[in-house]
Amino acid sequence: MNNEMNWIKSITPDTQQQPSLKVGIGDDAAIFSTETDMESVIAVDTMVEGVHFTKETMTMKALGHKALAVNVSDLAAMGAVPLYYLVSIAIPKTGWDKQELDDIYQGMRHLGNQFQMDLIGGDTVSTSKELVLTVTVVGKVEKDRHLLRSHAKPGDVLFVTGPLGLSAYGLEKLLAHGRKAADEATLAEYLKAHQYPQPRVKAGRVLAESGFKIALNDISDGIASEAMEIAQASGVRVTLHWEEIPTAPLIKEGTQEQQENWVLYGGEDFELVGTVSEADLPSLEKMFTEQGLPFFPIGRIEASDQPQVVLERNKGEVIPLTKTGYDHL
Amino acid sequence: MNNEMNWIKSITPDTQQQPSLKVGIGDDAAIFSTETDMESVIAVDTMVEGVHFTKETMTMKALGHKALAVNVSDLAAMGAVPLYYLVSIAIPKTGWDKQELDDIYQGMRHLGNQFQMDLIGGDTVSTSKELVLTVTVVGKVEKDRHLLRSHAKPGDVLFVTGPLGLSAYGLEKLLAHGRKAADEATLAEYLKAHQYPQPRVKAGRVLAESGFKIALNDISDGIASEAMEIAQASGVRVTLHWEEIPTAPLIKEGTQEQQENWVLYGGEDFELVGTVSEADLPSLEKMFTEQGLPFFPIGRIEASDQPQVVLERNKGEVIPLTKTGYDHL
């Protein structure tokens, strides 16, 4: 028996929540079954210390939450029900203690439990310098109920499921003042948006269950970049109506340039952005209202020779948006 | 458009091999269906530069091959058919060029094609120092056909699917002389075992299709450690017969201590080690012979108050094995 095996034992769940799980942690691989009317949905995302987070901006519990949340958000953007997750963690040989590692897993477990997700596998390795946390998630969605980026059509309405820019605003304050110095009373909502983003699983399920033809994306890289992905996959032009994009009070106090940076390019909002036909819009809005979920029409889709995203503001001023997401290479 | 997006486009497959794949790379997540008589099998493994490999010991093509192979080996150890893989790569900001990254993916693609596996997702991020490569694999196995570590029973025979110690021997030569200086003519078999391990998918399928009660593990950490996992999961004593363990000529030239280090503790052989009842053994050996696959009975399972692994050699000398796998923490 060694340290690694003991620690893995300590993070292994002693109960399981999904009846479709046949073999969980403890063998070479996990095994699960899938109902005949469902398909499996799978995604993977990695967070690197110094790139996606630092100990100055995130508690380890928040890191665990967020590493799982960004993955569950990908499932939400496919309209899927989250089921399982696997965690691969590369731990620096120095500078990290057991309590911090436990906190990461506690943060994941807390969010996972919210969706009855089971931790079903993973890998623990060492590294020399930065913590690298890779989460794989598995969910399920009704057969052939695909909410793809390529589904936008001219005449569709663009919508978003919540206010944008809060995570970027919160991060700016965290980078300026550090986690402990940031003014929690005033900034609570903004810090939470950055540290504890809430994946919009319920909204994704409403969209999948609606049966409507819907294009969908989650906002990890900023709405300008996500709208461009829809424009490219669907071969359309996306117009964002600046005045209709929901945001938050402190953001409104910034200059126009600041506001656009937070709202359009900031990213990590993890709201869903999508399109629906004008004919289906009223029914869809009603479904969201009935579920107590926010829903904001913020733009329109038009035919175009080439994919593009433009911003319309001040009653008719139209600006092409070209800036895109963070480039790792 | 940016570097990262262009590069991702360059590694995205333009054909798919599995008809059950519904949505591949290019959306928030991938979607696949599962036949009603099958269950899904999933595993994840990470390779870290400086821990699992260096540029001195591995070409980048070999790294790609091995990163996928060690995961497919986990599927083989569950008797599964490999189907899909997802790749998360954290790339150091300096010291790596596009050709090296392309080679990694080419190595994965080459092995993946051997099993008709589709690359269906991933993530590309940056890191400051070491390359970190995390692969998630998905396979399928017949419903309730589970080959678990906990299935060993007193009276069972322990078997292995190929010679052991070659990978450790090859690594020792690579560490001593470097990749370019290693004597390829003499060492080909040993270097290949370390750099291009072949996951025993076909053997795993024979074991799953046999319908016999079988405990199974793949040898990633050395047979002493893998046998201990079976001993612990099944609550039994595993006896390894030293003289029956298959190995290779150059290893036989070492001292007894060297031989035991390579064969019992070296690890990364990625052969399968398992147990089967004495009654089923002849049928199973016949199935392996018919498929042209090697099969070696190398020990036995006995009842025990506590899980243990012992080595029997020189006609009756019995030594308890306590050393286990590499400890990352």
According to CATH, what is the number of the domain A149-320? 3.90.650.10
Classify domain B3-142 at the CATH topology level: 60s Ribosomal Protein L30; Chain: A; (3.30.1330)
Q: What is the pLDDT of residue A316?
A: 85
B218 labeled part of a ligand binding site? yes
Yes or no, beta carbons of B324 and A27 under 8 Å apart: no
Yes or no, beta carbons of B28 and A218 under 8 Å apart: yes
Name the residue among B79, B45, B80, B44 with its Cα closest to residue B216.
B79
- State the DSSP code for B254: S
Residues A127-167: tens digit of each pLDDT:
988 999 999 999 999 998 999 999 999 999 999 999 999 99
Q: How do strand B132-142 and strand B236-241 relate by DSSP bridges?
A: unpaired
- Cα(A43)–Cα(B87) distance, integer angstroms: 10
For A127, nearest residue in chain B (alpha carbons): B48
- Assess whether pLDDT exceeds 60 at residue A242: yes
* Chain B partners within 8 Å of A7 (Cβ): 329
* Chain A partners within 8 Å of B132 (Cβ): 46, 90, 127, 132
The amino acid at residue B280 is D
Residues B218-273: tens digit of each pLDDT:
999 999 999 999 999 999 999 999 999 999 999 999 999 999 999 999 999 999 99
**Chain CA centroid to CA B154, Å:** 26
Residues A34-52: tens digit of each pLDDT:
999 999 999 999 999 999 9
Yes or no, beta carbons of A23 and B148 under 8 Å apart: yes
User: What would you measure as the largest C-alpha separation in chain A, in angstroms?
Assistant: 69
Residue B287 burial (10 A CB sphere; 0-12, 13-18, 19+): middle
Q: How do strand B236-241 and strand B308-313 relate by DSSP bridges?
A: parallel
For B25, nearest residue in chain A (alpha carbons): A43
Is A84 strand, coil or helix? strand
* Chain B partners within 8 Å of A34 (Cβ): 33-34, 39-40
User: Do residues A192 and A266 touch, judged by C-beta distance below 8 A?
Assistant: no
Q: Where are the domains of chain B?
A: 3-142, 149-320
Yes or no, beta carbons of B2 and A327 under 8 Å apart: yes
Question: Which pair of tokens denotes residue B33?
Answer: 């269906």
Q: How do strand A236-241 and strand A308-313 relate by DSSP bridges?
A: parallel
B26, B33, B75 ranked by CB distance to A29: nearest: B75
**Chain CA centroid to CA B146, Å:** 18
Q: What is the pLDDT along chain B (329 residues), one digit of tens a residue?
A: 467 778 888 888 989 999 999 999 989 999 999 999 999 999 999 999 999 999 999 999 999 999 999 999 999 999 999 999 999 999 999 989 999 999 999 999 999 999 999 999 999 999 988 999 999 999 999 998 999 999 999 999 999 999 999 999 999 999 999 888 778 889 999 999 999 999 999 999 999 999 999 999 999 999 999 999 999 999 999 999 999 999 999 999 999 999 999 999 999 999 999 999 999 999 999 999 999 999 999 999 999 999 999 999 988 899 999 766 555 55
- State the DSSP code for B261: I
CA of A43 to nearest chain B CA: how many angstroms apart? 5
Yes or no, beta carbons of B126 and A328 under 8 Å apart: yes
- Torsion angle, CA of B154/B156/B157/B160, rounded to 10 degrees? -100
The amino acid at residue B85 is Y
φ, ψ for residue B96, nearest 5 deg: -130, 135
* Chain A partners within 8 Å of B4 (Cβ): 327-329
Q: What is the pLDDT of residue B1?
A: 40
φ, ψ for residue A183, nearest 5 deg: -75, 95
Q: How do strand A118-127 and strand A215-218 relate by DSSP bridges?
A: unpaired
Q: Please state, in angstroms and as integers, the Cα–Cα distance from residue A137 to each residue in A165, A189, B75, B183, following that order.
A: 26, 27, 18, 44
Yes or no, beta carbons of A146 and B45 under 8 Å apart: no
Beta bridge pairs of residue A157:
A276, A300
Q: pLDDT confidence of A327, banded at 50, 70, 90?
A: low
- Cα(B99)–Cα(B133) distance, integer angstroms: 16
Please, which residues have CB within 8 angstroms of residue B111's CB and are 6 or more apart in sequence? Answer: B64, B65, B68, B69, B72, B117
Give the sign of the dihedral formed by CA B239, CA B242, CA B244, CA B245. positive
Enumerate the H helices of chain B as residue ranges. 3-11, 60-76, 98-114, 166-181, 184-195, 201-210, 223-234, 249-252, 256-260, 281-290
Please, which residues have CB within 8 angstroms of residue A280's CB and are 6 or more apart in sequence? Answer: A210, A212, A213
User: Do residues A309 and A228 touch, judged by C-beta distance below 8 A?
Assistant: yes
- Cα(A139)–Cα(A44) distance, integer angstroms: 12
Question: Which pair of tokens denotes residue B176?
Answer: 């001593």
CB pairs < 8 Å spanning A and B: 237
* Chain B partners within 8 Å of A44 (Cβ): 86-88, 121-123, 134, 136
Yes or no, beta carbons of A132 and B127 under 8 Å apart: yes
- Cα(B248)–Cα(B103) distance, integer angstroms: 30
- Cα(B115)–Cα(B179) distance, integer angstroms: 28
- Cα(A149)–Cα(A157) distance, integer angstroms: 14
Q: What is the pLDDT of residue B185?
A: 86
User: Do residues A106 and A232 touch, judged by C-beta distance below 8 A?
Assistant: no
Q: How high is the ipTM of this complex?
A: 0.95
Task: Give Rg (Cα) of chain B.
Answer: 20
* Residue found under tokens 């989460």: A135
